[in-house]
Amino acid sequence: AMPSWVIDRYGSNEVLRFTRDMVFPIIHFPNEVIIKVHAASLNPIDLSMRSGYGARALNMKRDPLKLKVDETEFPLTLGRDVSGVVMECGLGVSYFKPGDEVWAAIPPWKQGTLSEFVVASGNEVSFKPKCLSHVEAAALPYVGLTAWAALNQVGGLNQSNCSGKRVLILGASGGVGTFAVQLMKAWDAHVTAVCSHDASTLVKKLGADDVIDYKSGNLEEQLKTLPLFDFILDNVGGSTEKWALDLLKKWSGATYVTLVTPFLINMDKLGVADGMLQTGVTVGSKTLKHLLKGVHYRWAFFMPSGPSLDEIAELVDSGKIQPVIDEVFSFSEVPKAFLKLEAGHARGKTVINVISRQ
């Protein structure tokens, strides 16, 4: 058994429970590794999952054939990011060996990282950047891969095509935003970042060319005074979608990518099949509507990926991307860390130092 923070039901912060008797993870597939967790971090998805968001879709992914009739997902360990040391490797793992320092983002349908040990697929894991401590490294994988999926895999941006492009990042001071600003600057784009006034110093320090305070007057009007954009990354959602697409250059391949999608909500509300159908209809109609206006509309999601983390690690080791940490909590302070995240307005990430036992 091992120490872990788990939940036994969905709800608010009081459902978090510390236990010393969590079942030790075992390797089920030849490509898996067991990682001793040195540090983890919290993301908004942990708050959502604690409250039961996406449970239907995630449970289907956990047990697609409904083999375990009477089993539930509980006790469930939250936490997606890990930086730590490989303890044991499956027979099919040739790339890592016990003792290697690694980092990863564990997908939400697997047991999480607020635990002494966690099991991950070898293709989700990457060598930790050499220049970072475990606490620093734990701040990056989930937000880094989410931004990477949005900008590179869905948005089509890369090192060779960003130079001089005008990029707008809505919600620039959170975990994904701070990473996206740095990645776009590393790839030589012109970045306009939207955040609140008290985060503007941080966002400027990360390299943003223009920083706009969404609280100082009408954001839409402020942005309309600027030249049009080639790319918009939306971490905020809500009403921004109604006007943000008008800020793109028409008929030039300009793209709007949002990370706020109704996919899991639809599945929770409508069931898996109807939820997927509803989601498909929504994205299809929006894509078509905007395509007729000369701009591309896309959704992006977090995707676990060791190879993408390899590329991110290179950017970190070359000094182009650094973790932005708001606060570090010890392993005993996990509920406090959740409350901190829940209060919102984070400047970067909330990190848990798992190895510290105080």
Which helix (H) or strand (E) segment is 350 a member of? Answer: strand 349-353
Strand, coil or helix: what is 76? strand
Which amino acid is residue 260, in one-letter code? V
Q: For residue 116, is pLDDT > 80? A: yes
Q: Which of 89, 102, 257 is nearest to 169 (CA)?
A: 257
| Cα distances (Å, whole numbers) of residue 82 to 11, 87, 171, 174, 337 | 24, 14, 24, 19, 16
Res 358: pLDDT:
42
Res 76: pLDDT:
96
Strand, coil or helix: what is 78? coil
Model pTM? Answer: 0.95
Exposure string of 100-120, with b = 16+ CB inside 10 Å and e = fewer, is bbbbbbbbbebbbbbbbbbbb
Which amino acid is residue 255, in one-letter code? T
Express each pLDDT in 299-339 by its tens digit: 999 999 999 999 999 999 999 999 999 999 999 999 999 99
Express each pLDDT in 185-227 by its tens digit: 999 999 999 999 999 999 999 999 999 999 888 999 999 999 9
| 348 Rama sector, left if φ>0, alpha if ψ -120 to 50, beta otherwise | left
Strand, coil or helix: what is 259? coil
Domain boundaries, the chain: 2-141+324-353, 155-299
Exposure string of 42-72, with b = 16+ CB inside 10 Å and e = fewer, is bbbbbbebbeebbbbbbeeebeeeeeeeeee
Can you give 9-40 as a three-state secondary structure string? Answer: CCCCHHHEEEEEEECCCCCCCCCEEEEEEEEE
Q: Hey, what CATH topology would domain 2-141+324-353 get?
A: Quinone Oxidoreductase; Chain A, domain 1 (3.90.180)
What class does CATH assign to 155-299? alpha beta
How many other C-beta atoms lie within 10 A of the C-beta of residue 347?
19
Name the residue with tokens 């966002």: 203
Paired tokens of 357:
């036992």
Express each pLDDT in 67-104 by its tens digit: 766 678 999 999 999 999 999 999 999 999 999 999 99
What are the backbone angles phi and psi of residue 345, rounded to the nearest 5°? 55, 40
